[in-house]
A and B are shown apart, each in its own frame.
Chain A
Amino acid sequence: MNIELRFFASVREALKVAQESVTVPANVKTVGDVRAFLRERGGVWAEALADSRPLRMAYNQEMTGADTAIEEGSEVAFFPPVTGG
């Protein structure tokens, strides 16, 4: 399955990537699976996307939890807790 990835703020800086198209294997079915799949890249990926980090996730531009199922062509984003206002 092909999905679009977006990274913001400190996560974007740590990974040195803002946006990426990626093909994920069939066993990657949820937003949480995507996070785990990307961690397997090791290095800064394992660190920035670690479960211990208070990351926020968005699916098709809406805040979501790890259990949300992904679909072909969807947009998955990872970022730190927001600090606007």
Chain B
Amino acid sequence: MPVRVQTEDFDVSHEVAALRANSPQVGAVVTFIGTVRDMNDGSSVAEMELEHYPGMTEKALQNIVEQAKARWPIFDALVIHRIGPLLPLEQIVLVAVTSAHRGEAFSACEFIIDYLKTDAPFWKKEQTPQGARWVDARTTDDTALAKWKLPDTATGVAK
């Protein structure tokens, strides 16, 4: 279950091929790709900078993948998250999950990206015509996570 944090771009075909190589038990592969939009919260975005917490990020992503594996009978999962400056249209994140059948692969993939959004220590800063601004966390991300019914302690929400 590889987890990678990198500045360089990724090739989805190549990553999926590697993930299911020599694994004839795989019957389903679900991938999610997050990309940079040129608009956010009413402003055009010229560039985005992604900061992270080296060390903690990798542990957090591993933990999220472990939890997905504990919940669904998936074979493998891959998470690649980019850092550094990114332009609109560029790829930010890839989640790929393999399983025997589509149901668990869809669920596990959605769970991983939902959990990543609220728990992995990444932060986005946008360049807009009004200047640079840090992206605010969305309450819709917490709502998305809530449907997986994780215990409060797992979300790291400071009390």
Give the residue among A9, A65, A81, A84 with the most B Cβ atoms within 10 A. Answer: A84
Q: Are B158 and A82 in contact (CB under 8 A)?
A: no
Does the CB pair A84–B123 fall under 8 Å? yes
Q: A6-19 CB contact bits vs B (8 Å, 1 = yes)?
A: 10111000000000
- A2 in the interface (beta carbon within 8 A): no
Confirm or deny: A70 has a beta carbon within 8 angstroms of a beta carbon on chain B. Answer: no
How many Å from the CB of B84 to the closest CB on chain A? 13
- Identify which of B17-25, B65-73, B114-122 touches chain A: B114-122
- Max chain A Cβ within 10 angstroms of own Cβ: one of B51, B122, B159: B51
Q: Is B134 an interface residue (CB 8 A)?
A: yes
Question: Once bound together, how far apart are the Cα atoms of A66 and B137, in whole Å?
Answer: 20
Q: Is B100 an interface residue when CB atoms closer than 8 A count as contact?
A: no
- The interface size of chain B toward A, counting residues with CB under 8 Å, comes to 34
**B55 close to A (CB within 8 Å):** yes
Closest to A31 in B: B158
Complex Cα gap A56–B158 (Å): 6
Contact call A62/B56, Cβ cutoff below 8 A: yes
Point out the residues of chain A lying under 8 angstroms from B159, CB to CB: 65-66
Query: A77 — which chain B residues lie within 8 A by C-beta?
Result: 53, 56
Assembly CA distance A64 to B118 (angstroms): 14
Given the known interface contacts A55-B158, A56-B156, A64-B156, the answer about A82 and B120 at a Cβ–Cβ threshold of 8 Å is: yes
Does B11 sit within 8 A of A, measured CB to CB? no
For window 54-69 of B, CB contacts with A under 8 Å fall at 55-56, 59-60
B123 and A82 contacting across the interface, CB-CB below 8 Å: yes
Minimum CB–CB distance from A35 to chain B (whole Å) comes to 9
Report B52 CB to chain A, min CB distance, Å: 7
Cβ contact within 8 Å between B56 and A80: no
| A83 adjacent to B53 (CB under 8 Å) | no
Q: B residues bordering A, Cβ < 8 Å?
A: 34, 50-53, 55-56, 59-60, 81, 92-93, 113, 116-125, 134-138, 153, 155-159
- Taking Cβ atoms with an 8 Å cutoff, the residues of A that contact B are 6, 8-10, 54-58, 61-66, 77, 79-85
